[in-house]
Chains A and B, each alone.
Chain A
Amino acid sequence: MTLPNVRTLAVGLLFAFLQSRALLAQGRPISIKGSDTMVLLGQRWAETYMKKNPSARIQVTGGGSGTGIAALINGTTDVCESSRPMKDKEKEAIKRKFGKDPVEIPVAVDGLAIYLNQSNALNDLSLEQIRDIYTGRIKNWNEVGGKDLKIVLYSRENNSGTYAYFKEHVLENRDFHPAAQTLPGTAAVVNAVAKDPKSIGYGGIAYHSNIRTVRVKKDASSPPIEPTMESVLNGTYPISRNLFWYVTGEPQGETKRLIDWVLGPEGQSVVKEVGYYPLPRQSTAPMTDTKKKVAKRKAT
């Protein structure tokens, strides 16, 4: 056998192998695994999608962003849900194993506002100040430039995704002060903050009735940013993040159809129902555009 012949044979075998894998893939359900924050979102997507396409089968499981990424590296899941961007090491691991880059697809946006009572005239807080308030280091509003009033903390029950996100991203995994009152939902937090002049709370940006939201500074010297849908979506508001899906290589077949649907108007309206933000409108178009947009955002 000559060398070129060996090469064609190898390529042929590889093709056959991939083909058979693709055929097999059609028979089994698409599995989606990862972030606990996104489990509900993933399940809602799967339910709605399967209702539209009765032939599609989708399995959604949680376990955490790390678990999902590990599963993607091990090849035991088709789609990984992650509430943090993948680290370079993890991307390299996938490239080494499959010879393909992981594709990052932002699927939704998540942002939290800091609530104040309407009688509280305070305008800005830095992330560090918010952290000190919630861990009990700052106890009086006059320490952050407000009135001489004790600070009353409102938080969420510890099973809530919002609680976990706030704890991870704002408190940097420190514990909440024990005096933080835990309430069963964002609406309850808004209600409590609206009634209590000493209060501070946190929750989704969409809730606006009878409360004020504070402008947040990334650190003491950076400009304060108003929490609006716009500032969340263009990434300047500091307490916001993209929620991602990752797949290995360009998605194909049923997975691609699912991803296109998720990024389309129907999938994005599910995002709103679950309580997250849909992607900015430009990027809901074809996926290549999404990636450009992400690249641009990272550059700025």
Chain B
Amino acid sequence: MTATSATRRSVPNLDRHGLLRQSLVGARLMDYLFRRLILFNAALAIGVIVLIFVYVGKESLPLLLSEDIQQEVTVGKMFSSQPNETEELALSYIWQPVSKEPKYSVIPLLLGSLKVTFIALLFAAPLSIAAAIYTAEFAVPWVRELVKPIIELLAGIPSVVLGFLALVVLASWLQHFFQFDYRLNAVNAGLAMGLAIIPIIYTVSEDALSSVPRSYREASLALGVSPWKTARSVVLPAATPGIFAAMVLGFGRAVGETMIVLMASGNAAVTSLSLADSVRTVSATIAAELGEVVFGSAHYHVLFFLGTMLFILTFLLNMVGDVFVSRLKQRMMGAS
């Protein structure tokens, strides 16, 4: 009897001021508010990206619509060859926007971007994929725990620092070893860019390799296949879409990267296939020229057009990368 009365008394004691009920209502309210807040944040992020795209696109539209500007430059002219004063050049694709007759060929710029990106991938992809195979397949746990964060830390190095390194140190080494005519050239910028994209390719490849189910490896090893052969012929092929995605994402980053190429590439808009020549990339051109260009001039709209091109390119590349990653995930889920 005393016991029951004691419990009966103790219940109202617990919630003497209705705190429990109040906090429940409060929690629900907070829950609601925060869900809305987070939704708003997500929408804001998307909205900002859409608005940036709309603005950049809008600023490049006069190139297609304004007749005044089309007298100076059209999209067709930007991709075709022009009459040329320096007669000894075989191909006359020239970027010379400040001139009596401004020349806006984007071919040397695109070629420059591609050359630098190509070298960056050529340098970064084998290194980072090999590193990913090592950490995912062979490294003992503590080595893996050490190596992975350190490589990922590379992504935190500001590109200005990489650019400076390439400008001052790397360029001199390369010129010393390879006797380049131009100290700052596509190889120099490409190698520095490679350093910048190693963390991206490594991280995505490593994830792809790790997501290959254990059962694949166990089956292979149980059949008496060596670990290296297992990694090479079983795990790596299974992770191919992920590794491809890693390279696509690395490519996207390299095409848009600006500071490194601005500092390390020499910025000469040469139309040549030689990797030893100086190059001027699309991104570096925008960075170097947009600051002082006459607002509303043909040159200004051309620069925005280049920006739109870059934006669409990197957007598509990122999308392709994502599609491949999610396809890989599905495949692995189905298999395990």
- Asked if B85 and A175 make an inter-chain contact with CB atoms under 8 angstroms apart, the answer reads yes
- Asked if B268 and A135 make an inter-chain contact with CB atoms under 8 angstroms apart, the answer reads no
- Asked if B86 and A175 make an inter-chain contact with CB atoms under 8 angstroms apart, the answer reads yes
- Asked if A173 and B100 make an inter-chain contact with CB atoms under 8 angstroms apart, the answer reads yes
Q: Is B291 among interface residues, defined by CB-CB distance under 8 A?
A: yes
- Chain B min CB distance to A201 (Å): 12
Q: A135-B86, A136-B86, A198-B181 are in contact. Are A175 and B99 (CB under 8 A)?
A: yes
> In chain A, residues 181-228, which have Cβ atoms closer than 8 Å to a Cβ of chain B?
181-184, 192, 195-196, 198
Chain A interface size range: 20 to 34
A285 cross-chain contacts in B, Cβ below 8 A: none
A157 cross-chain contacts in B, Cβ below 8 A: 267, 288-289
Q: A152-B182, A159-B98, A192-B183 are in contact. Are A178 and B269 (CB under 8 A)?
A: yes
Q: Is A10 among interface residues, defined by CB-CB distance under 8 A?
A: no
- Asked if A182 and B268 make an inter-chain contact with CB atoms under 8 angstroms apart, the answer reads yes
Q: Which of B108, B181, B271, B293 contacts A152 (CB 8 A)?
A: B181
Q: Which of B108, B172, B291, B292 contacts A178 (CB 8 A)?
A: B108
A137 cross-chain contacts in B, Cβ below 8 A: 86, 88
Q: Mark B275-295, 1 if CB is under 8 A from A, else 0.
A: 001101000000011011100
Judged by DSSP, the binding face of A is loop
B88 cross-chain contacts in A, Cβ below 8 A: 136-137
- Asked if A179 and B270 make an inter-chain contact with CB atoms under 8 angstroms apart, the answer reads yes
Q: Mark B231-250, 1 if CB is under 8 A from A, else 0.
A: 00000000000000000000
> In chain A, residues 112-162, which have Cβ atoms closer than 8 Å to a Cβ of chain B?
135-137, 150, 152-153, 157-159
- Asked if B268 and A183 make an inter-chain contact with CB atoms under 8 angstroms apart, the answer reads no
How far apart sit A251 and B280, CA to CA, in the bound complex (Å)? 49
Chain A residue with Cβ nearest B92: A178
- Asked if B98 and A158 make an inter-chain contact with CB atoms under 8 angstroms apart, the answer reads yes
Q: Is A177 among interface residues, defined by CB-CB distance under 8 A?
A: yes
Q: Is B94 among interface residues, defined by CB-CB distance under 8 A?
A: yes
Q: A178-B89, A178-B269, A180-B268 are in contact. Are A195 and B96 (CB under 8 A)?
A: no
- Asked if B268 and A178 make an inter-chain contact with CB atoms under 8 angstroms apart, the answer reads yes
A177 cross-chain contacts in B, Cβ below 8 A: 86
Besides the contacts A158-B98, A175-B99, what 5 more A-B pairs have beta carbons closer than 8 Å? A158-B96, A159-B98, A178-B271, A184-B262, A192-B184
Can you name 22 A-B residue pairings with CB atoms under 8 Å? Answer: A135-B86, A152-B183, A158-B97, A158-B289, A159-B98, A159-B291, A159-B292, A167-B98, A175-B85, A175-B94, A175-B99, A175-B103, A177-B86, A178-B86, A178-B95, A179-B278, A182-B267, A182-B288, A184-B262, A192-B184, A195-B172, A196-B183
